[in-house]
Amino acid sequence: MSGTLNSVIELDATFHAGVYNRMKICLVRGEGSRVWDSEGNDYLDCVAGIAVNNVGHCNPKVVEAIREQAGKLMHCSNIYYIEPQAELAQRLVKMLPEGLDKVFFCNSGTEAIEAAIKLTRRASGRPGIIAARGSFHGRTLGSLSLTGQEKYRTPFEPLVPGAKFVEFGDLEALASAIDDKTGGVILEPVQGEGGIIPALPEYLSSVRDLCEEKGLILTFDEVQAGMGRTGSFLACQRLGTTPDIVAMAKGLGGGFPIGAMAARSDVMDMFHPSDHASTFGGNPLACSAANATLEALVDEGLIQRALELGNWAIDNMEKTQKEYPELVKSVRGLGLMLGLEMASEKIAMKVFDDCLQERILVNRTAGSVIRLVPPLCITKEELTRAFSAIRASLRSV
């Protein structure tokens, strides 16, 4: 690093948009489940770029794939065929639930949701989409219009019309919200920003049945929950329901930006040339990174690891809740997508700060929820260290 931390902070304050609440840390290097800052301090990373670095920081397969492709071709536009893109589409379809057999590539989760909104409208012929309260689908006007949190929506209204919101998990409310303008339903199988809240399998199954009965397009937002994080490639596979459309991103590129929307062929084929596009979507470099990421997930057994280690982690967290029932309200999670809901935001902030003092990076979401979404290569010993720091913080309360 050429400058000091303070010089970087000064540059950022002077020239960068002030849209982030940053911690006073400048990360400069990562390997596996560890990162280092500009002062040489190492941290155990239980955030993973917010569920992005699923295969670990600087996974060797991903690094080598990027290096090799960068020396060949980084960008060429989608007016030409792109071999790594075609290979990635095939590889991805083989890992998706049966029936999701065509893919569109973009650059982020938000872009994947935008594509899903357009495809839902085109395939259903109706503009309305029902979403859940507490959901988070992105910050662009379309994706924000489906985000069920007023703190994000209100400052930018009026938004794209046609959205309705119902309580997450309430099938009766969802059924009552359907009218002759409703074209689809969008849900997160596990609400991430909403506080790590997995849907009940029977709820998703009933929503699937309702959508089929009413002729609606069902979209699952797997941007945060996907790519092996929950112990199956997509969370919906573990929960037992297949949507018509799925949005993916975050962990797909192993740290390199890429998003994807997959759908059933009969739905995707409603998109015609020029209906949707992306200049950089599915570029050779991003697709090479994603191909290597999917290979690493399989070859390194990381999906099964997320399942087994996640079950152990949830048991560990439940023991912590029993030990401190007045401080920990609930434990939630699926695989290595974990949340501890504290009794107050003040307690959650203390746990966050105390973990940072121990050089353990955790995240706070939905006010009082400590979120852990570590790289799937994290060890049981490393997770034990994180849980020990959390319990030590609770003891001090």
Looking at 3.90.1150.10, 3.30.420.40, 3.40.50.170, 3.90.79.10, the CATH number of the domain 301-343+351-397 comes to: 3.90.1150.10
| Fold (topology level) of 60-299 | Aspartate Aminotransferase; domain 2 (3.40.640)
Question: Mapped to the 3 state alphabet, what secondary structure does the chain carry?
Answer: CCCCHHHHHHHHHHHCCCCCCCCCCCEEEEEECEEEECCCCEEEECCHHHHCCCCCECCHHHHHHHHHHHCCCCCCCCCCCCHHHHHHHHHHHHHCCCCCCEEEEECCHHHHHHHHHHHHHHHHCCCEEEEEECCCCCCCHHHHHCCECHHHHHHHCCCCCCEEEECCCCHHHHHHHCCCCEEEEEECCEECCCCCEECCHHHHHHHHHHHHHHCCEEEEECCCCCCCCCCCCCHHHHHCCCCCEEEECHHHHCCCCCEEEEECHHHHCCCCCCCCCCCCCCCHHHHHHHHHHHHHHHHCCHHHHHHHHHHHHHHHHHHHHHHCCCCEEEEEEECCEEEEEECCHHHHHHHHHHHHHCCEECEEECCCEEEECCCCCCCHHHHHHHHHHHHHHHHHC
Q: Are 196 and 145 in contact (CB under 8 A)?
A: no
pLDDT at 2 (0 to 100): 59
- pLDDT for residue 207: 98
Question: pLDDT per residue over 160-191, tens digit each?
Answer: 999 999 999 999 999 999 999 999 999 999 99
In this predicted model, what pLDDT tens digit does every residue of 77-91 receive, in sequence order?
Answer: 999 999 999 999 999
pLDDT computed for residue 1 by the predictor: 46
**Per-domain residue ranges of the chain:** 60-299, 301-343+351-397
| Tens-binned pLDDT, residue by residue, of the chain (397 aa) | 457 899 999 999 999 999 999 999 999 999 999 999 999 999 999 999 999 999 999 999 999 999 999 999 999 999 999 999 999 999 999 999 999 999 999 999 999 999 999 999 999 999 999 999 999 999 999 999 999 999 999 999 999 999 999 999 999 999 999 999 999 999 999 999 999 999 999 999 999 999 999 999 999 999 999 999 999 999 999 999 999 999 999 999 999 999 999 999 999 999 999 999 999 999 999 999 999 999 999 999 999 999 999 999 999 999 999 999 999 999 999 999 999 999 999 999 999 999 999 999 999 999 999 999 999 999 999 999 999 999 999 999 9
